[in-house]
Structure 1
Amino acid sequence: MKLSGIAAFVLVVLSSHAQDDTWFGKVQGQIRIFTMMEDNQEPLNDYEATAVGGKLLYLTPNWNRFQGAVGLYTTHFIKDNISSGNVEPLASNKNSRYAVGLVDSINYDASSVTNIGEAYVRYHYEKNSITLGRMKLDTPFVNPQDGRMIPTFEQGVWITSAFSNKWSAQAGYINAFWNRNTPEWKSVEDSLGYGYEMGNSSLETTVAGNYRGNTSSDGLFIANIRYGIPKEFTIDVWDYYLENVFNLSYADVSYTHPYGSVELSYGAQYVYQRQSGDGGNGEDNSVSTNAIKAKSYMQEGEKSTTYGVKTAIKYRSSKLTFAYNQTTDDGRFLFPREWGKEPLYTFQKRERSDGSGNSHAWLTSVEHNFAAQGLSGLDVMAGYGEYKKTDAKEWKYNKYGHPSYAQWNIDVFYRFGGALKGLRAEYLLARKVARGETYQIPGASEYNFIFRKNGITQQNFILNYDF
């Protein structure tokens, strides 16, 4: 029996005998089934896959304010057309962008991934805690980004403290990541570009990014302080320092005010980022223009500034939101998409703003809960956004060569009750169409600015059973 099978068996046995959590601890689990389809515009290839997997997490009893945990995560293809041979010849032999992530975006021929995602010891005293080991963090930029089978995990130390009902703080140091869609843990420096495209450098010449395996960093430091009055006013300030690469500061202010049965809310956010040290690799700053290797994640002096505002009106079970983000012409907003989805107000599932500078985006979204209509457990969200970028070939502001585009999403959630309590279903439909120049000439075999970027309808059906 493989190690993963032994671990699963032990956890099940512990669960079946855990009559008293204070003595035996407890087991939590999830069974997850995920079907994903990428429908690309003709004549490009389509991709589809169905995977099954989940987790088993064992939590020890509390002992003198200490508690431990170990969690096994796994995913397996049960149907797919993902392989290293099923490439798109009209787009430089690229492969699936989305469906491959249900198992392993490093190895297109892999059929399964299993690993230990959580293994930590936590000490907690009153409203303070310190966690050491492998964990799952949820911060604005480093988060599970749980839109595939296995989320993103971090290894390090994390401290939280609540000073009062209004003030709280948290901070930590990360030295390794298990990037989602990948098979193994990597040090912080080696996790950059692992399982994800590196795009193009911001250098004046056209040169592909080459920072995967060429980055030098001692780790990621994160700090946060928050002031908040629940459901009224909050100020959230974060700092992410990736040693020798960059420093990113983020602030978010939100205000909510009820007017009878109507609730109005407002938000503003600010992101400032600058290159630090040698940007990850000093060679870019010392070689001639004819020998540029683009090994730095950020070039010397590179920086970016991003703003965002939003307003929302909520009436009973419905909410309408308007949001806007701008990244100025200071440079490209960059944050490793390997580590989490971004908190920008105009974010929609299945695309990012990472890599864009001198750009504008707006989003209109609506949410509704159908409990008042007798459909308790049913929630629907829909959004439409326009994302204006610089020309796809202007690498200084467009790392991934992504033309301007429009995107609309429909996200349907249903939580079952009664005998099926613990079962949750989701259906996500995302559609992206180009608004900018794609450099596609009729009859020509050039789809590099279309394939994996726009002209795609992406469907997802997910079943989660938590126990």
Structure 2
Amino acid sequence: MFKTIALFTALLVTTGWGTAAAQEHTSGHAAHPSSTESDTVQIRSAKDLFSKGEVEGHVRNYFMATFNHGSLSDNYANAIGAEIGYQTASLHGFRFGFAGLFTYNLFSSNLGERDFIAEKHPKLELELFDIEDPHNKADLDRLDELYLAYNSARLRAKVGRFSFTSPLMNPQDTRMKPYSFQGIKVQVPLQDIGLFTTAWFDHFSPRSTVEWFKAGETIGIFSPGLDEWGNPSAYPHHTQTKGVAVTGLQLNPNKGLQAEAWNYWIENVSNNSYGKAVVEVAPQVKAGMEGLYQFQIGNGGNSENALVYFPNQQQWLVGGMLAYEPQNLHLSLNYLHISGNGRFLFPREWGREQFFATISRGRMEGLGQSDLLVAKARKKWAGNFSSELALAKSWLPAPDDYRYNKYDAMSYWGWVADLNYTPAKPVLDGLSFRLLYIGRTSPDMDIPLKDMYYNTNFNNINFITQLTF
């Protein structure tokens, strides 16, 4: 993969010199150039290719604190870090780019120490750093992107390491490190009415890690939970897959309709098909429907039943949304139902599901026979200030109903307050602040104290300061 990128880079530089030489022998007025031709005219040497490139990035400070129930330990952490990315100027539509990031534990509670009641590490604070090494405070750098891209009016392509966004696989850059992907992506614009995407990924660097892994190695890096019999899942390091093929069709033919369909074919593991449509049913009123269907491919990841990641099941879920959207305001009621045919399974290491009812810290992956109802309110205020409030009620299987409950999840009431502010003064351009508060409680359940740890009856506070350039 990277040998291919290096070869293409060499070709770009060589083409740059050839273009410069050709321009020195050209006279007269040329026809009106295309956008790619215009970019090429500006590149007169290999030096121009790089000196006229673009630098972007951000510096981020992230403070988090979690207050758990009773005598369970409370935790806090402050991470600081930065990401810097660069891409060359465009030459005949081609660009070479890379990005790296680092994180440093400025101060924190002892993240390497397990809670003496739950016997688990601090979950959310540890996700700011390296979940594979709770004691790692400084060696937290990562080459996040390294790619060759091509853009034209009819085709967009990228090969290497880069960010990718879709309903189930996405960067989710809300911690210190996003989910990153290695492979190839091709997109075809559909005459201003939509976009067709196809991609293949064989390596991943999950959020909250510092390494790159083969596709099969990633599955199980995050907590693997329990199998259908209540035993610790044995599939980590045993899932056999070469990667995932993704296809997507996004359509926006008019103001009143938005639709998308995606398919994720995980070689030797599972096939996952997702579709969504949002229709404007009346002025300022929208209704949406979504659905997902998944089934086993090959042997589900391993020929031994005890090591299978995706069992022989045919699972589905459906969701709905009804929204009222006057100017600068969004009010919606969102619903998600997961069937009782098994568990909804998709590698957590590749992103986070984005359904109508999705809220922060509210994954539904790993569950079956479940329902989630969420009311959301978003408002854009004057002065570059926005807010989002959400109230959620879930109905989940009992924590010991292992057939439908992979991670000991329990029914809860949850709430989210998300406040964002960007100063309007030019001297503070690029600066932004975010305050995120998540709470959860399960008042009607008799739950052992050790099972509440980062599961329910907690309050989580996040304050993020970011300078984007």
How high is the TM-score relative to the length of structure 1?
Answer: 0.88
Partner Cα distance (2:444, 2:356) in 1: 22
Aligned mate of 2:135, from 73, 96, 109: 109
Count of aligned positions: 421
Contact 1:245 1:279 in 2 (8 A): yes
Give the C-alpha shift of residue 356 in structure 1.
Answer: 0.7
SS of the residue 1:237 aligns to: strand
Aligned equivalent of 1:386: 393
Give the C-alpha shift of residue 23 in structure 1.
Answer: 4.7
User: Could you list the per-position Cα deviations for residues 221-273 of structure 1 after superposition, in whole angstroms to 9, with x for gaps in the alignment?
Assistant: 100112212532022000001111111000000112563xxx11111000001
Give the C-alpha shift of residue 439 in structure 1.
Answer: 3.7
Contact 1:245 1:276 in 2 (8 A): yes
SS of the residue 1:332 aligns to: coil
Contact 2:434 2:463 in 1 (8 A): yes
User: Which AA in structure 2 matches 1:328?
Assistant: S
**Bigger Rg over Cα:** 2
Q: How does 1:89-168 map to 2 (within 5 A)?
A: 89-91=116-118, 93-112=119-138, 113-168=140-195
User: Which AA in structure 1 matches 2:334?
Assistant: A
Aligned equivalent of 1:444: none
Partner Cα distance (1:337, 1:364) in 2: 25
User: Which AA in structure 2 matches 1:357?
Assistant: G
Aligned mate of 2:376, from 354, 362, 365: 365
Aligned mate of 1:218, from 242, 252, 257: 242
Give the gaps of 5 or more residues in structure 2. 1-46
Give the C-alpha shift of residue 352 in structure 1.
Answer: 0.3
Contact 1:145 1:340 in 2 (8 A): yes
Matched, 1:70 2:98: yes
Aligned mate of 1:231, from 255, 267, 285: 255
User: Which AA in structure 2 matches 1:400?
Assistant: Y
Contact 2:391 2:415 in 1 (8 A): yes
**Higher mean displacement: 448-457 or 70-79:** 448-457
SS of the residue 2:106 aligns to: strand
Contact 1:307 1:326 in 2 (8 A): yes
SS of the residue 1:351 aligns to: coil
Partner Cα distance (1:346, 1:90) in 2: 32
Partner Cα distance (1:247, 1:155) in 2: 20
Aligned mate of 1:347, from 355, 358, 361: 358
SS of the residue 2:127 aligns to: helix
Matched, 1:407 2:414: yes
SS of the residue 1:425 aligns to: strand
Aligned equivalent of 1:198: 224
Give the gaps of 5 or more residues in structure 1. 1-18, 285-293, 441-446
Aligned mate of 1:39, from 67, 72, 77: 67
Q: How does 1:259-274 map to 2 (within 5 A)?
A: 259=283, 263-274=284-295
User: Which AA in structure 1 matches 2:130?
Assistant: D
Query: Structure 1 segments of 4 or more deviating over 3 A?
Result: 19-23, 435-439
SS of the residue 1:102 aligns to: coil
Contact 1:120 1:135 in 2 (8 A): yes
User: Could you list the per-position Cα deviations for residues 314-336 of structure 1 after superposition, in whole angstroms to 9, with x for gaps in the alignment?
Assistant: 22222211011100111111111
Give the C-alpha shift of residue 163 in structure 1.
Answer: 2.4
SS of the residue 2:117 aligns to: helix
Percent identity between the aligned chains?
24
Contact 2:49 2:91 in 1 (8 A): no
With over 3 angstroms needed to count, the CA separation of the structure-2 counterparts of 1:198 and 1:227, relative to structure 1, is same
Give the C-alpha shift of residue 437 in structure 1.
Answer: 3.7
Give the C-alpha shift of residue 138 in structure 1.
Answer: 0.9
SS of the residue 1:211 aligns to: coil
User: Which AA in structure 1 matches 2:410?
Assistant: P
Aligned equivalent of 2:384: 377
Aligned equivalent of 1:6: none
Contact 1:403 1:435 in 2 (8 A): no
Matched, 1:295 2:307: yes
